């Protein structure tokens, strides 16, 4: 076994209000989100490549209670749970999480579910980018993973669009829903995030044109 690290202190993160992306408000879950959560978690198509099957009302109530309480990241296994609402609407369309997998090793994991009526509009990618920003810039994690069943094409595509690297294909490593399933592991490091976001900065203004008619 390797000796443990020197315990770099992560920054605690607590959600003190809604976050905003280009098209979404990301806010903590509330009691009023039961219908949304049940509408996604009771569907076999949504659960197809997840570790759980379609959930009952009682199971979803329990999950909702956990989500309502999941608004800070301080200790190992803490989860930040965010409900995504398109701006200008009151309709929740997405369920997003960032989990502190290891405090000692500064590792996190992201996850997302979008209501099927809203698939393919880039919402998971947009919220996923905000989860990575929180992970690397607010909590100061070193590495963040996304783990999915190997046949979950849309999920893999989202992680690729986020700029995460495919690190592993674990072949039939889990027996889930009466079958052997495989997993893909995607990851990003803090320095990769910094590179990605500094590349995305707008270019400095071009020198003023000297052409006649455009100078002041
Ligand atoms: C995975 C999921 C969150 C994606 O949400 P989304 O908002 O539709 O994602 P985005 O619109 O940002 O991107 C989806 C991408 O997948 C692509 N896609 C759709 N179906 C696909 C398939 N069968 N194979 C590969 N890619 C596919 C889309 O074309 C899109 O990529 P593009 O922008 O290059 O065209 C959504 O499908 C979902 O909730 N699935 C059920 C729950 C789940 O599996 N969550 C992930 C757990 S690991």
- Burial (Cβ within 10 Å: 0-12, 13-18, ≥19) of residue 4: exposed
CA-to-CA distance for 198 and 75, rounded, in angstroms?
29
Q: How far is the CA of 155 from the centre of ligand 1 (A)?
A: 5
pLDDT digit string, tens, across residues 9-58:
689 999 989 999 999 999 999 999 999 999 999 999 999 999 999 999 99
In the prediction, which pLDDT does 209 show? 38
pLDDT digit string, tens, across residues 71-114:
999 999 999 999 999 999 999 999 999 999 999 999 999 999 99
CA-to-CA distance for 95 and 52, rounded, in angstroms?
15
Nearest Cα to 43, choosing from 110, 113, 96? 113
pTM value is: 0.91
Q: Is pLDDT at 212 greater than 50 in this prediction?
A: no
* Domain 13-196 bears CATH identifier 3.40.630.30: yes
Nearest CA to ligand 1 atom 19: 154
Q: How far is the CA of 162 from the centre of ligand 1 (A)?
A: 12
- Contact criterion met (CB below 8 Å) for 147 and 182: no
Residue-range domain boundaries for the chain: 13-196
pLDDT digit string, tens, across residues 172-198:
999 999 999 999 999 999 999 999 999
Indicate the range of 15-19, 44-48, 146-150, 204-208 predicted with least confidence.
Answer: 204-208
CA-to-CA distance for 156 and 152, rounded, in angstroms?
6
Q: What is the DSSP letter of 71?
A: B
- Contact criterion met (CB below 8 Å) for 47 and 53: yes
């Amino acid at each position: 076994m390797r000796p443990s690290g020197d315990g770099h202190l992560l920054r605690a993160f607590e959600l003190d209000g809604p976050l905003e992306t280009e098209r979404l408000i990301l806010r903590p879950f509330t009691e009023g989100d039961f219908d949304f959560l049940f509408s996604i978690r009771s569907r076999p198509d949504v659960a197809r490549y997840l570790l759980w099957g379609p959930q009952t009302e009682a199971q979803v109530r329990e999950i909702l209670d956990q989500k309502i309480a999941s608004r800070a990241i301080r200790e190992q296994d803490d989860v930040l749970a965010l409900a995504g609402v398109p701006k200008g609407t009151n309709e929740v369309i997405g369920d997003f999480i960032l989990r502190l997998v290891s405090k000692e090793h500064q590792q996190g994991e992201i996850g997302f579910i979008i209501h099927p009526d809203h698939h393919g509009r880039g919402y998971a990618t947009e919220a996923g980018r905000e989860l990575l920003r929180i992970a690397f810039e607010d909590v100061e994690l070193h590495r963040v993973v996304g783990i999915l069943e190997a046949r979950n094409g849309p999920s893999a595509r989202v992680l690729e669009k986020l700029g995460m690297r495919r690190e592993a294909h674990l072949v039939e490593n889990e027996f889930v829903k009466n079958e052997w399933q495989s997993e893909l592991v995607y990851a990003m490091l803090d320095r990769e995030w910094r590179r990605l976001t500094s590349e995305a900065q707008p270019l400095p203004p071009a020198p003023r044109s000297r052409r006649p008619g455009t100078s002041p």
